[in-house]
């Protein structure tokens, strides 16, 4: 059975990806950093549907924790075939209000965390000469939203690292792609005031918000053999927002 490690999988898009990959037949590692109860619920849902999964607590912005997680997962499940780099954080602040803590936290989790997980997963993928990495980006990497300079910068970095990783790893049978969601109905979006949410909705040509399952479907496709010739791409799911 192939193994998929999904970071930040206790809720939102990560949860949807974990559930979908379990349905696809993967043994899924549900990574989380704080929400143990939520992670357990995802595990229970997967097991109830006949799937295989485990939970693993690790802060992906900490290299030592990432190394231990990949080591333990490989020992228990036999390796890693798919990595979904999803754990991330959004802290909206205008440039003149930006503080060091926000900058450090976003860079550590959204950029360094992706590098750490990819590096350690690839060390395991090398042995099989195959593997898939999906980096979760955002429409914010291509569409400017006031107050999101730091978040946009981290997601722009994700796009760039995806392309370079894809080129570096193609010869080893490892494909790397990114998925850039727009406004998706998750807890993160719930925090936005209704008036602002309506403003965003009006700006979307399809006049509707995406669902976490929409993102999971694309992740599933990119992991499948049907997309075996696709690497280094950033797939945007935004209802036309960035057009």
Which residue numbers are catalytic?
151
Contact criterion met (CB below 8 Å) for 155 and 180: yes
Query: Tokens 């003149």 label which residue?
Result: 96
Q: Is 94 left (phi over 0), alpha (psi -120 to 50) or beta?
A: beta
What is the C-alpha to C-alpha distance for residues 137 and 151, in angstroms, rounded to an integer? 10
CB 113 within 8 A of CB 155: no
Strands 174-181 and 184-185: unpaired
Q: Cα–Cα distance between 124 and 119 in angstroms, integer?
A: 9
Query: Phi and psi dihedrals of 176, rounded to 5?
Result: -130, 120
Cα Rg, the chain, nearest whole Å: 17
- Any bridge partners for residue 29, and if so which? 5, 54
Number of residues that this document lists for the chain: 243
């Amino acid at each position: 059975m192939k193994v998929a490690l999904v970071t930040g999988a206790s809720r939102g898009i990560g949860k949807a990806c974990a559930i979908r990959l379990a349905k696809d037949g993967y043994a899924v590692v549900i990574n989380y950093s704080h929400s143990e109860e939520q992670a357990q619920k995802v595990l229970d849902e997967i097991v109830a549907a006949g799937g295989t999964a485990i939970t693993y607590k690790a802060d992906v912005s900490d290299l030592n924790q990432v190394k231990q997680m990949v080591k333990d997962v490989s020992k228990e499940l036999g390796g890693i075939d798919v990595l979904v780099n999803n754990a991330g954080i959004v802290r909206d602040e205008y440039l003149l209000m930006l503080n060091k803590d926000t900058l450090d936290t976003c860079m550590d989790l959204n950029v360094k965390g992706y590098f750490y997980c990819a590096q350690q997963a690839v060390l395991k993928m090398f042995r099989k000469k195959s593997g898939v990495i999906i980096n979760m980006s955002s429409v914010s990497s291509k569409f400017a939203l006031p107050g999101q300079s730091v978040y946009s910068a981290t997601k722009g970095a994700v796009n760039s690292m995806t392309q370079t990783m894809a080129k570096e790893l193609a010869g080893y049978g490892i494909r790397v792609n990114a998925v850039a969601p727009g406004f998706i109905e998750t807890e993160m979006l719930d925090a936005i005031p209704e008036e602002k949410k309506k403003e965003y909705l009006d700006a979307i040509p399809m006049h509707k918000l995406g669902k976490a399952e929409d993102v999971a479907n694309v992740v599933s496709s990119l992991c499948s053999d049907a997309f075996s010739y696709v690497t280094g791409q950033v797939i945007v799911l935004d209802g036309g927002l960035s057009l």
